[in-house]
């Protein structure tokens, strides 16, 4: 057994730095990359200097970030086993948050795909799903609860081997002064669900490794993500792969863009968003 010296300030500092170096060597595949331009998985279509967020979220982990209006966020499933459970709140007014019912109702579409707006309960667009090479997602079931994880895996603790999405998102929310009461149903990306003719939910799994989605922040956002198995995943083991995230400055959806003019209801939602944002400037 190796003895670590921490009996003096100098020894404690040396011990901490040696541990940090060891952790960096072993965790390089699953960590935030600071600066973002140092990501080993740089998107080929984005200048490294434009990146504002780069991170690999390991299985059974969570992440959180505040992003500016217009930020483009790319989520990527490198192995085909990631499952990004996403919840959004407005950063400058966190009482305004993702509303799944309106997200499905306003575009008259229950299945997420390119151009789909993610709405708040106030009729404004929080984010737009701008690009999607997966289209294996779910807006019905949300993330796994503590009760669900206890029943299936025997443990739901955030520090345990099989944390629930509920427990991890609660931790992520706490980083922003929020509690479980501030959270609602999530969207799940990369593990698809469809509704059968008899109304039953059918798990489709992933489209395959390497797929991605791009989200455009239409307002400044608090982004909360838990990377945990989908509740309908039939595999008995707690199976989930890493999730890659890259974000960079961009522009929000504008009048004349395809998403903006896709339907009268969507146009109204984007106009509501612009009107509210401009009145606060």
pLDDT tens by residue, 148-166: 999 999 999 999 999 999 9
Residue 19, class by beta-carbon neighbours within 10 Å (0-12 exposed, 13-18 middle, 19+ buried)?
exposed
The C-alpha torsion from 119 through 168 and 112 to 220, rounded to 10°, is: 40
Question: pLDDT at residue 112 above 60?
Answer: yes
Question: pLDDT at residue 175 above 90?
Answer: yes
For residues 88-104, average pLDDT: 97
Question: pLDDT at residue 117 above 70?
Answer: yes
Residue 13: per-residue pLDDT: 77
**42 domain-assigned:** no
Question: pLDDT at residue 14 above 90?
Answer: no
State what percent of residues in the chain have pLDDT above 70.
92
Residue 128: per-residue pLDDT: 98
Residue 16: per-residue pLDDT: 62
**29 domain-assigned:** no
Residue 22: per-residue pLDDT: 47
Is residue 5 very low, low, confident or very high in pLDDT (cuts 50, 70, 90)?
low
**5 domain-assigned:** no
Residue 274 CA to residue 116 CA, distance in Å, equals: 17
pTM of the full predicted structure?
0.90
Question: pLDDT at residue 11 above 50?
Answer: yes
Q: Whose CA is closest to 93, among 152, 176, 206, 215?
A: 176
Indicate the average pLDDT of the chain.
92
For residues 118-146, average pLDDT: 97
Task: List, in sequence order, every residue forming a beta bridge with 63; answer none if it has no partner.
Answer: 225
Q: How many CB atoms lie within 10 A of CB 254?
A: 10
For residues 112-129, average pLDDT: 97
For residues 239-247, average pLDDT: 97
Of 19-23, 69-73, 93-97, 199-203, the range with the lowest mean pLDDT is: 19-23
Question: pLDDT at residue 129 above 60?
Answer: yes
Residue 60 CA to residue 31 CA, distance in Å, equals: 13
**28 domain-assigned:** no
**17 domain-assigned:** no
Residue 18 CA to residue 263 CA, distance in Å, equals: 57
Q: Whose CA is closest to 124, among 262, 250, 275?
A: 275
The C-alpha torsion from 34 through 40 and 43 to 49, rounded to 10°, is: 40
Question: pLDDT at residue 242 above 60?
Answer: yes
Is residue 20 very low, low, confident or very high in pLDDT (cuts 50, 70, 90)?
low
Residue 189: per-residue pLDDT: 98
Residue 208: per-residue pLDDT: 94
Residue 10: per-residue pLDDT: 78
SS3 101: helix
For residues 110-117, average pLDDT: 96
**31 domain-assigned:** no
Domain count across the chain? 1
The domain in which residue 175 lies consists of 58-279
**11 domain-assigned:** no
Pull the structure tokens for residue 183: 């959270």
Question: pLDDT at residue 79 above 80?
Answer: yes
Question: pLDDT at residue 28 above 80?
Answer: no
């Amino acid at each position: 057994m190796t003895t670590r010296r921490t009996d003096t300030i100098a020894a404690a500092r040396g011990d901490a730095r040696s541990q940090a170096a060891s952790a960096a060597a072993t965790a390089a595949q699953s960590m935030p990359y600071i600066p973002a331009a140092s990501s080993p998985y740089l998107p080929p279509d984005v200048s490294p200097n434009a990146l504002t967020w780069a991170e690999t979220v390991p299985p059974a982990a969570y992440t959180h970030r505040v992003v500016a209006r217009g930020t483009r966020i790319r989520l990527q499933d490198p192995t085909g086993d990631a499952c990004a459970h996403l919840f959004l709140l407005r950063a400058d007014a966190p009482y305004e948050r993702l509303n799944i019912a309106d997200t499905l109702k306003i575009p008259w579409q229950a299945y997420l795909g390119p151009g789909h707006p993610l709405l708040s309960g106030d009729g404004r667009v929080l984010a737009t799903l701008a690009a999607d090479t997966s289209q294996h997602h779910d807006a019905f079931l949300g993330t796994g609860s503590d009760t669900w994880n206890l029943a299936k895996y025997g443990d739901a603790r955030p520090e345990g081997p099989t944390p629930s999405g509920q427990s991890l998102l609660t931790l992520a929310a706490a980083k922003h002064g929020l509690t479980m009461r501030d959270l609602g149903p999530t969207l799940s990306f990369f593990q698809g669900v469809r509704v059968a003719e008899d109304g039953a939910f059918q798990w489709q799994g992933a489209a395959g490794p390497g797929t991605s989605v791009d989200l455009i922040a239409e307002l400044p956002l608090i982004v909360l993500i838990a990377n945990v198995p989908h509740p309908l995943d039939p595999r008995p083991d707690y199976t989930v792969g890493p999730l890659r995230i890259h974000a960079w400055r961009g522009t929000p959806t504008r009048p004349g863009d395809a998403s903006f003019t896709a339907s009268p209801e969507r146009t109204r939602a984007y106009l509501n968003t612009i009107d509210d944002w401009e009145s606060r400037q």
